[in-house]
Amino acid sequence: MSEKLGNLFSNRPLPESPPAADAPPPQRPGSVWRWVVPVVLFVGIVAAIAWVSQNLPKGPSSRKPNSDPGVPAESARAPDLKFLRTRAVWDPKDPDYLKEYEPGVEGHYDFPFINSSEQTITLGFARTSCDCSKLRVAIVPPPASAKLEEGLAKEPYPVDPSWTWVELPQHDTQGVDVPPHAGGVVQIYWNGRKSPGSALRLSIRMWMQPQGRIADRSFETLEVPIIMVAPVVFSPDRVSFGPIAGGGTVQEDVIAYSPTRDQLPFKVDASQTDELFQVKLLGPLDATALAAFQDRLRAAKVETRVRSAVRFRVRLLEQAGERQLDQGPFLRDMPIELEDGTGFSKPTVTATVKGDVEIGVPEDGGKVIFRPFDARDGSRKVVPIYSDGASLTVDSKTPSFLEVKLTPVPKESTPGRAKWLLDVRIPPGTLVGALPEDSVIVIKPAGGTRKVRVPVVGTGGQG
């Protein structure tokens, strides 16, 4: 037995000495496969899931409410109905023009079509790019359908009062039948909700098929490009007069125009004007002035069609008789309105009234500016004020929670230039968010009627 065991092991090499304790273990040839195999399996599983998700039939929950699981996928077949136009053109001389519509105002566009075949074609509404749009259809019998093309040169499209219109819901199988050699008109109408300046490009997908032959379905896309605009626009939209010195007078004309309305029945609220702030309605622009104004807008790259416009004159006087504008920033909206009650953003009139009182440092623009602060802690701002020597007092403050103290600084004053410190505090827990736009401190020089308005701005945050 010992001889057999000796023969068994005598030809094997003796083991090498054991490796040092800090030497890395020798790499086994099969160690690479330990991570290669799992990676390959993972990639294979992901590929299989992707194939299944793309090729298996979708469940009912993944389809729109009015869809039919038996409807085939879209094909490249030529449309069974001939649409005489597939894109709305508002001006044949300017095909790229986007017609302007006010938000909340319904509009429509007509797309005539003809069935030139010898069979009845079913027409349906597949989908739309905007839920603000709807469809209705009028079917025109063969004798009258031959004249549908004549109306393409007219805008709006001439619709016969005798036509019967049928609402066409968005549905995969419900549609209207168009007899052989008949025709009709698809009317797309909408009520846009986008903000002024936003383009609304409606895209309507229509399906059609020989009656009862869903497998032979074809498609056509109808497009309506429009743009949303405000009912009235101002040029300029803000009147900035800049500084006004003592006894100064400034004025500027403002034009209010509309791309959508033929008349602008404006009126001025006289209760908000006086001899220092004057706003006068000069009247509508005549045809010549209207054309010149539109050319000026085009030159400024404002692509619009002006249907009506009126002119205002805004005049600001630093002094009239015994009255003077309050010193400091002037900020007022033009006191105008439309007689029909339509709302719009009014132009703001701004100026800086110069006087004998100097507020803060030049970069603050005569304001008390609070940098963002924690509302729980409140905030404090001290602003230097210089006067011509007159004594100053705080006349009023808005909002009421502001704590205001005005203190003279005799050591830094001279007989002709007195220095004061305006100490303004926002108490802890009184302001979360921005101060109201009308936040202001009004200072009154002793013996004078002219007041100094010091706007206050700032924002309190939570934590």
Can you give the pLDDT at residue 228? 95
CATH architecture of 358-461: Sandwich (2.60)
The DSSP symbol for 38 reads: H
Mean pLDDT for back-to-back runs of 10 residues, the chain (463 residues):
42 47 48 56 64 45 52 82 95 87 95 97 96 96 93 90 96 96 97 91 96 94 96 96 90 97 96 95 96 94 93 95 86 95 95 86 86 94 88 92 94 89 95 92 82 91 81
The DSSP symbol for 79 reads: P
Q: How far is the C-alpha of 265 from the C-alpha of 270, rounded, in Å?
A: 16
% helix, strand, coil for the chain, step of 5: 15, 40, 45
Q: How far is the C-alpha of 251 from the C-alpha of 239, rounded, in Å?
A: 9
Q: What is the DSSP string of 216-244?
A: G-EEEEEEEEEEE--S-EEESSEEEEEEE
Distances (CA, A) of 39 to 34, 416, 420: 9, 86, 76
pTM: 0.70
Distance of CA 108 to the CA centre of its chain: 23
Type of residue at 159:
V
Length of the chain equals 463
- What are 205's strand-pairing partners? 127, 221
| Positive or negative: CA dihedral 296, 300, 305, 311 | negative
* Residue from 337, 297, 332, 299 nearest 437 by CA: 332
Residue 125: phi and psi, rounded to 5, are -105, 110
Residue 228: phi and psi, rounded to 5, are -85, 135
Q: Which two tokens stand for residue 19?
A: 């490796």
- For the chain, give every domain's residue range: 82-228, 233-353, 358-461
Q: Which two tokens stand for residue 87?
A: 């894109």
Residue 438: phi and psi, rounded to 5, are -90, 15
Q: Which CATH class is domain 233-353?
A: mainly beta
CATH superfamily, domain at 82-228? Immunoglobulins (2.60.40.10)
Long-range contacts of 104-109 (CB under 8 A, 24+ apart): 104/191, 104/192, 104/193, 105/191, 105/192, 105/260, 106/189, 106/190, 106/191, 107/189, 107/190, 107/191, 107/192, 107/226, 108/187, 108/188, 108/189, 108/190, 109/157, 109/187, 109/188, 109/189, 109/224
Long-range contacts of 298-301 (CB under 8 A, 24+ apart): none
Domains 82-228 and 358-461 share a fold: yes
Asked whether 175 and 125 are in contact (CB, 8 A), the reply is yes
Asked whether 223 and 86 are in contact (CB, 8 A), the reply is yes
Can you give the pLDDT at residue 52? 45
